[in-house]
Amino acid sequence: MRAMILAAGLGTRLRPLTDHLPKPLLPVAGVPLIVWNLLLLRRHGITEVIVNLHHLGHLIEQTLGDGSRFGMRLTYSREPVILGTGGGIKQAESFFLGQPFLVINGDTLLELDLGLLVGFHRQQGGMATMVLRADPDADRWGAVEVDRHQRVLRINGRGTQEKGRTGTRMFAGVHVMHPRLLQTIPAGRESSIIEAYVSEIAGGESVFGFDMEGYWSDIGTPERYEQAQKDAEGGRLNLAGRSEAGRAEIG
């Protein structure tokens, strides 16, 4: 399976840290954030990865190169105008060769068994699988409602009108999807992949939620960035392995 890391964001909430360094290169325990994600992918056998670039993207490309130092092959999708999660994935569509692929937000740190995720996706046979997590602030992040069969019914209150008992989760920034999800996304225009999900769910397509319970952090604010540093230094997260990450340290 191939994967995409979304790394084109502006990182505005982390300024001034991101004025001269793109957020994916901010170090956590001395290792760039995006490298943690690359090592997570490689640990689960995913070595063909595309990274989209916009804000200071040349620095990401200079740092990572062709990926060979990580035992991977990296491709870059450059966005002169930022395309958002929908448009960004759409632009990279040919890279996926018509097969299901995995997407991970470049500003997220998490411990997740990607093998279990992919196995769940294949077993369910839906158009896509969103990694979800329980959070008391799920509504603030964007509530994802699932039924007892883990089928996603609504995102931010939009989707199907089906009634019944549901559970509320938040989207953890990782998903597996079939390229047919991209068919209705306009090329070359900014859009959100969530809009595509809502449209397909409303049209009767099956999207499933995969619950995760391990470490997760969205590095979106200075406070969360500082906490992630403390978590790594305190041993709360192992991710792809501290020794392995240490060998990948940029500097």
Q: What structural domains and CATH numbers belong to the chain? A: 2-236 (3.90.550.10)
Q: What is the pLDDT of residue 243?
A: 43
Q: What angle do CA 237, 13, 174 make, to 5 degrees?
A: 45
User: What percent of the chain is predicted at pLDDT more than 90?
Assistant: 61
Are the C-beta atoms of residues 75 and 50 closer than 8 Å to each other?
yes
Q: How far is CA 142 from CA 160, 170, 215, in A?
A: 16, 6, 19
Q: What is the pLDDT of residue 163?
A: 76
pLDDT (tens digit, 9 = 90+) per residue, 20-75?
A: 788 889 888 888 989 999 999 999 999 999 999 998 889 999 999 999 999 999 99
- For residue 230, pLDDT over 80 is answered with yes
- For residue 251, pLDDT over 50 is answered with no
Handedness of CA 155, 160, 161, 162 (dihedral sign): negative
- For residue 122, pLDDT over 90 is answered with yes
pLDDT (tens digit, 9 = 90+) per residue, 159-196?
A: 988 776 678 898 999 999 999 999 999 999 999 999 99
Which residues make Cβ contacts (< 8 Å) with residue 94, sequence separation at least 6?
none
Which residues make Cβ contacts (< 8 Å) with residue 134, sequence separation at least 6?
169, 170, 211
Instruction: Report CA 208 to chain centroid distance, whole Å.
Output: 16
pTM over 0.95: no
Residue 17 pLDDT level (bands cut at 50, 70, 90): low
- For residue 244, pLDDT over 70 is answered with no
DSSP 192: -
Helix (H) or strand (E) segment spanning residue 223? helix 222-233
Of the candidates 150, 125, 138, which has an alpha carbon nearest to the alpha carbon of residue 208? 150
Handedness of CA 219, 251, 9, 181 (dihedral sign): negative
Q: What string of DSSP letters covers 55-118?
A: TTHHHHHHHHTTSGGGT-EEEEEE-SS--HHHHHHHHTGGGGTTS-EEEEETTEEE---HHHHH
Which of these ranges, 18-22, 83-87, 177-181, 215-219, has the smallest mean pLDDT?
A: 18-22
Q: What angle do CA 180, 186, 191 make, to 5 degrees?
A: 100
Which residues make Cβ contacts (< 8 Å) with residue 108, sequence separation at least 6?
37, 172, 173, 174, 216, 217, 218, 219
- For residue 138, pLDDT over 70 is answered with yes
What 3-state DSSP class applies to 164? coil
Instruction: Report CA 88 to chain centroid distance, whole Å.
Output: 12
